[in-house]
Amino acid sequence: MKIAISTDQGHVSAHFGRCLSYTIVEIKEGKVLSKEEIPNPGHQPGFLPQYLSEKGVNCIIAGGMGPRAQDLFAQKNIEAVIGVQGAVDKVIEKFINQELEVGDDLCGHKHGPEEHPPFDSPAEHFPQSKGNKICITSKGKDLETEVDPSFGRAKYFLIVDPETMNFEVVNNPNIEAVQGAGIQSAQLISNKNIGTVLTGSCGPNAHRILQSSGIKVITGANGKVKDVLAKYKPEVK
């Protein structure tokens, strides 16, 4: 069989239709026969299902995908596996060993008929996130601590409701990642009803994933978390 994995810098992309490339893997009797990475050929309506079907793809793996896109692939007898994160090579290994972990759709959009256009729509037509929460990188677990200057390797993410100032603490498991920390951190928070990220700095790959989820990214934040929130709240509403 052949699988196609949405790929961004060696990791599974949060968005199948708008990833940088696809990793096409042929597997037989538990062994990888071939693997190639091809650039994303574009988003013309109905093109990707036909394109990958002609390449013999039986299964697609991605972080997220809208229901219409899944239907289009199903019409080509291609199974969609979504909610997947991690390095592509590790995902291939888990797929072969039937240990692949799937989770929630990571695309970050609601899936109503008007809220989530098909993946093959032009990128500029995708809606902005309806999330109203603020994610701020933090060195500690409360609003009195300092802002962590790094997004991808921040110690914690504080997910704050700007109306009530109630917040959730999310531990960042990607602090010690050898590579792809920004990408994996962006995928981690992209489905948490967030409208804005406040941080010191954010790499281009993580920035692109966040923006594609409709999340506004504001960099240059420093000082105590509560002070940064007070400063930026008028801008992020």
Residue 20 has a pLDDT of 84
pLDDT digits (tens, 9 = 90+) for 129-182: 446 899 999 999 999 999 999 999 999 999 999 889 999 999 999 888 777 788
pLDDT digits (tens, 9 = 90+) for 167-212: 999 999 988 877 778 888 888 888 788 999 999 998 877 887 787 7
Kindly report the three-state secondary structure assignment for every residue of 32-90. EEEEEEEECCCCCCCHHHHHHHHCCCCEEECCCCCHHHHHHHHHCCCEEECCCCCEHHH
228's tokens: 């940064």
CATH number 3.60.15.10 given to 133-236:
no
Torsion of CA 1, 87, 158, 208, to 10 degrees: -80
Distance (Å, whole) CA 159 – CA 180: 22
Looking at every residue in the chain, the average pLDDT score rounds to 82
Cβ-Cβ contacts under 8 Å for 157 (sequence gap 6 or more): 135, 136, 137, 138, 169, 170, 172, 185, 188, 189
pLDDT digits (tens, 9 = 90+) for 54-73: 999 999 999 888 788 888 88
CATH number 3.40.630.30 given to 2-124:
no
Q: Is 118 left (phi over 0), alpha (psi -120 to 50) or beta?
A: beta
Distance (Å, whole) CA 27 – CA 59: 11
Least confident of 36-50, 83-97, 135-149: 36-50
Residues of the chain with CATH 3.30.420.130: 2-124, 133-236
Helices (H), the chain: 47-54, 67-75, 88-96, 181-189, 204-212, 225-236
Distance (Å, whole) CA 13 – CA 58: 19
